[in-house]
Amino acid sequence: MDFNTSGGLKVAVLMGAIGSERQVSLASGKCIADALKKIPDIEIIDHDFLPDKPWILDDKTIDVFFLAFHGEFGEGGDMQEICERKKLLFTGCDSKSSRLAFDKIACKEALEKARLPTPRAVEIRNQQQLADIESKLEAIGKKFVIKPIKQGSSVGIQIV
């Protein structure tokens, strides 16, 4: 990718998007944009991105897209895949890595396959598994963190 030659780097900080973590993303994006604006010779565009209005991705004057999203659309590989298809330079992992990292069960399986330690876990996907949970939980311990398989931040987390 060729950078613009106007003298500095042009960075679009993309934030917001859709989903339950939109407000967290907007706050993160603002903090990131404010910090980047302190760096000389970098032009910052802070942009509230909505997937149904992706026009900013067609702006050829932007050198790099800083992805400041939270939640499935921004962390789960969808936005990364859009950037990859458009051959845009962006921050963070590629779409495949993002999808893997965002899916807690798939990520745990990949880490275990690589012989890396992970916390003990029980996956519950349906009512029948929920009915059998007591014996599974007794095997793990006394306190538990319950997390949705595909959510970011602390959305849906419970300690029981």
**pTM score, whole prediction:** 0.79
Q: Where are the domains of the chain?
A: 9-102, 118-159
pLDDT tens digit sequence for 52-110: 999 999 999 999 999 999 988 889 999 999 999 999 999 999 999 999 999 989 999 99
Closest CA to 152 of 83, 86, 84, 104: 104
- What 2-6 contacts at long range (C-beta under 8 Å, 24+ apart), as own/partner pairs, is 3/63, 4/61, 4/63, 6/61
Look at residues 150, 157, 26 and name the one whose alpha carbon lies nearest to residue 76. 150
9-102 domain in CATH 3.40.50.20? Answer: yes
